[in-house]
Amino acid sequence: MPTIQDVARRAGVAPITASRVINNNGYASQDVRQRVLRAVEELGYVPNTLARSLRSRRTNTLALILTDITNPFFTTVARGVEDAASDAGYTVIFCNTDENEDEEQKYLNLLLQKRVDGILLVPARSGHGAIQSALAQGVPLVVIDRRVANEPVDVVRCDSEGGAYALTRRLIRSGYQRIALLNGPKGVSTAEDRAAGYLRALAEAGLQEHALVFYGHFTQASGAEMTTRALLHQPPPQALFAANNFIAIGALQKIRELDVRIPEDLALVGFDDLPPALVTFPFLTVVAQPAYEMGQRAARMLIDRLEGRLSGECREIILPAEIIIRQSSGPIHLEEETTP
Amino acid sequence: MPTIQDVARRAGVAPITASRVINNNGYASQDVRQRVLRAVEELGYVPNTLARSLRSRRTNTLALILTDITNPFFTTVARGVEDAASDAGYTVIFCNTDENEDEEQKYLNLLLQKRVDGILLVPARSGHGAIQSALAQGVPLVVIDRRVANEPVDVVRCDSEGGAYALTRRLIRSGYQRIALLNGPKGVSTAEDRAAGYLRALAEAGLQEHALVFYGHFTQASGAEMTTRALLHQPPPQALFAANNFIAIGALQKIRELDVRIPEDLALVGFDDLPPALVTFPFLTVVAQPAYEMGQRAARMLIDRLEGRLSGECREIILPAEIIIRQSSGPIHLEEETTP
DNA sequence: TTGTACGCGTTATCAC
DNA sequence: GTGATAACGCGTACAA
C-alpha cells in the first residue's frame, strides 16, 4: 500500500508538500498540485488515518455501547446515532452488553485503547464503573436512555416517569382500578421511573392499595412469566402495564395462550412503541419514546462537546413520551377532566 | 494520557521492557514485572492501539456495511456479526447505505482509510464498485445476503431461489393458482432469485400464464402500493407473496385497510420472518432466513481469512431457508405427494 | 534478562 | 511556495 512518501517521491516533492496538497491546506503551486494529484491517482494512494490520528489525537470514531441492538428501540436509537455521526464525519463502533456489567467494562477498556473520541452509553444497571473509567481518561461520554446517580455526565433520555404516569392515569380514568405493572429489573432507572410514575398515578387516584408491581427483565420470556404470576394474584388485575416492548409481547403471547380476551377480559398497555414498519397488528396502546431522536440528539451533543461547541455544565435532555391509544386499552370512557 | 515511556520511566526500565511485561511477551524478572505493573496501575496507563496498529498493520476492526440496520433481518445479522467478532477480539463499525451506491462507496473509502482489517458487505444493488475498491486495496471482504456476479469474493447468503420455490409450490398445492409476487427492485440478487424460484414453481405446475410480478422496493410503503396494484389486476390474485418482511407488513396494512380477509379472501405469505420477540400476532406464513447465523458465519469466515486459517478459492456459503406455516396461507389441503 | 536503534505514516514547527 | 526535522506511541531486530 503506497504511502505519502511514495506519492511525494513520484511527484518529485517532499512528503509534507504532498500532504499539503492532499489536505488542501497551505500553499502549493498549480504545477506541484497537479503532479501530486496525478501521483495519488496513479498509485491509488489511500491516506492512513491511523498515522494521522496518532499525531492529531483524534480518531473521528464514536462508540455506541448498548444492551442489545436486537431490541427495536435500541435499533432505532442506533440508526439515529449513526446518521448524526455520519453527517459529521464520524464513524460508529457498536457493542452489545446484554445488561452485563463485566461486558460493559470489557468493551469500555477496549474502546479507550482504541482512542475513540467519545462514547455513547446505555449503562447496564447503574453502570458507574464504565462511566468513571471514561471520565477518568477524559473521554467525553453521553448516557442514553437511563439516569445515573451522582455522576457528572450528559444524559439524553425520555420522560419515563411522566409517560408511565400519564398512561396509568388514562387507564384509571377509563375505569380500571386494579392495574399490574410488569416491570424490568430493579436498579435500572427506566424500570424505577416507570414504577414511580405508575405509583404516582395510583396514589393520586387513591388506589395505592391496588398497586401490584412485578420485577423481572426486559425480555419476552420474563413478560410471559410475570403475566402468569399477575393473573394468579387475587383479586386478578383488570389491566396489565408492560414496562417495555419485549415484556408487552411476552404478555400478549401468554394472554392469547390462556384464551383471555383483550381488552374485554383484560386490558394490556406497554412502554416503547414498535416502529411502524414492524407493526403487523396495530393494536397495543402504548407510551412511545422518540427513539430515533434520542440517538440523534445524543450523538450531536457528544460531537458538539468534541468540537468545542458545547462546554461546561453537564446537560440532561429529557424528551417527552407520546401516548398512542389503540384498542388494547378498551373503549374510551373518560370522566370529565373538569369537575364541577 | 500516560504513554509506555512514562510507565517505563516510573518503573526505572526501558520502554521496551515495559512493553514486554504489558504484553506478556518475552522475559522479565519478577522484580521488573512487579515494578512495571505497579507503574501501570499508578499512572492509569491505557495502551494506545493506534500506535500499535501503525506498527502491526492490524486494527482488529471489522466494518459492517448494510442497507438499513432498522430492518430486523439486518439487525439480527448485525448481532450475529458483532457476537462472532467480539469473541475473536474484533470490534465492529457499522454503516447504513439505504441501498444507495454513492453512500456505499463513500463509506468504503472511509473504512479503507481507517485500515479496517476486513469488510462485511451487503451490497447496494450489484455494488461492484465497493467490492472492487476493497479487493484492489487487498482488504478481505465477505458479501452477505446477496449474490454478486463475476467478482471473486466470499459470500454468505440464503437460498432465496429455493425458499421462494418451496413456498410458492406449497401455495399451489394448497389450491392457489393466481399468486402475485410483490418483489424488491430489479438488480438486487435476492429479489431476482425470489422471482426465479416463484417462476420455477409456477412453470412446474403449468401456471406460467398466471405469473404476476411487481417490482418495487423492500419497504413498507412499496408493499402497500404494490398490493393496491395487485388487487386491481384482473382477474385478481388469490394469494400475495411478499418478497421481504417490510413488503409483507405494508401489504398486511393495506389489506386490512381494504377490509379484505386473510386468508378467506386472500392469502398472504412472505420472505423473512420477524424475530419471535417481535411477533405480536403469529400469523404470517413465511420463508424464514437464518439471519443470526448468516452474520455469525460471515464474520467467522472473514476472521478465518484474516488470521490465515482460510485461504485460496473463494467460498460461497448458502444456508437453507425454512418454511414456517401459519394461518395466513389458509387451511392446508395438500394433494398427495405421490401420484398413483 | 534488559536495552539501543529504528521504523510504522503522518503532520506541526521552523527555516529557507 | 517548499523543504528538513522531529514527534505522535509502540514494537521488531538486534545487541549486550
Rg value, chain A, Cα: 26
* pLDDT (0 to 100) of residue A339: 38
Q: Are residues B101 and B70 in the same domain?
A: yes
| From B48, B137, B278, residue closest to A115, measured CB to CB | B48
B113 occurs within a structural domain? yes
B15 occurs within a structural domain? yes
Looking up residue A17, the CATH number of its domain turns out to be 1.10.260.40
Q: Are residues B128 and B196 in the same domain?
A: no
**pLDDT(A336) > 60:** no
Q: Which nucleotides of D are covered by protein (CB under 7 A)?
A: 1-5, 7-13
With an 8 Å Cβ cutoff, are A92 and B94 in contact?
Answer: yes
Q: Are residues A166 and A281 in the same domain?
A: yes
B52 occurs within a structural domain? no
CA closest to C3 C1', residue? B14
Looking at the structure of chain B, the number of domains it has is 3
Per CB-CB distance under 8 Å, the chain A contacts of B86 are: 95-96
Taking only the tens place, the pLDDT of each residue in B162-206 is: 999 999 999 999 999 999 999 999 999 999 999 999 999 999 999
| From B46, B253, B276, residue closest to A113, measured CB to CB | B46
**pLDDT(B338) > 60:** no
Q: How far is the CA of B53 from the C1' of C5 (A)?
A: 20
* pLDDT (0 to 100) of residue B337: 43
Q: Are residues A118 and A184 in the same domain?
A: no
B24 occurs within a structural domain? yes
pLDDT, mean over chain A = 93
Question: Looking up cell 455513547, which residue turns up?
Answer: A120
Q: Are residues B42 and B122 in the same domain?
A: no
B9 φ/ψ angles, rounded to the nearest 5 degrees: -55, -50
pTM over 0.85: yes
A53 occurs within a structural domain? no
Res. B248 pLDDT band, cuts 50 70 90: very high
Taking only the tens place, the pLDDT of each residue in A119-164 is: 999 999 766 888 999 999 999 999 999 999 888 999 999 999 999 9
**pLDDT(B331) > 90:** no
Q: How far is the CA of B103 from the C1' of D5 (A)?
A: 40
Q: Are residues B200 and B126 in the same domain?
A: no
Q: Are residues A130 and A236 in the same domain?
A: no
* pLDDT (0 to 100) of residue A189: 95
With an 8 Å Cβ cutoff, are B92 and A91 in contact?
Answer: no
Per the structure, the complete domain to which residue B12 belongs is given by: 4-47
A280 beta partners = none
Per CB-CB distance under 8 Å, the chain B contacts of A110 are: 91
A267 occurs within a structural domain? yes
**pLDDT(A201) > 80:** yes
Q: Are residues A164 and A285 in the same domain?
A: yes
A153 occurs within a structural domain? yes
**pLDDT(B332) > 80:** no
pLDDT, mean over chain B = 93
Between A and B, how many CB-CB pairs are < 8 A? 145
Q: Are residues A84 and A118 in the same domain?
A: yes
Q: What is the sign, positive or negative, of the torsion defined by CA atoms of A101, A105, A110, A114?
A: positive
User: Which nucleotide shows the minimum CA-to-C1' distance to residue A18?
Assistant: D2
Taking only the tens place, the pLDDT of each residue in A216-233 is: 999 999 999 999 999 999
With an 8 Å Cβ cutoff, are B137 and A1 in contact?
Answer: yes
Mean pLDDT score, A22-42? 90
Q: Are residues A175 and A122 in the same domain?
A: no
Looking up residue B130, the CATH number of its domain turns out to be 3.40.50.2300
Taking only the tens place, the pLDDT of each residue in B278-316 is: 888 889 999 999 999 999 999 999 999 999 999 999 999
Nearest Cα to Cα of residue B63 among B121, B149, B127, B4: B121
Q: Are residues A267 and A226 in the same domain?
A: yes
**pLDDT(B127) > 90:** no
Q: Are residues B285 and B295 in the same domain?
A: no
Mean pLDDT score, A196-204? 98
A273 occurs within a structural domain? yes
Q: How far is the CA of A284 from the C1' of C11 (A)?
A: 57
Q: How far is the CA of B16 from the C1' of D11 (A)?
A: 8
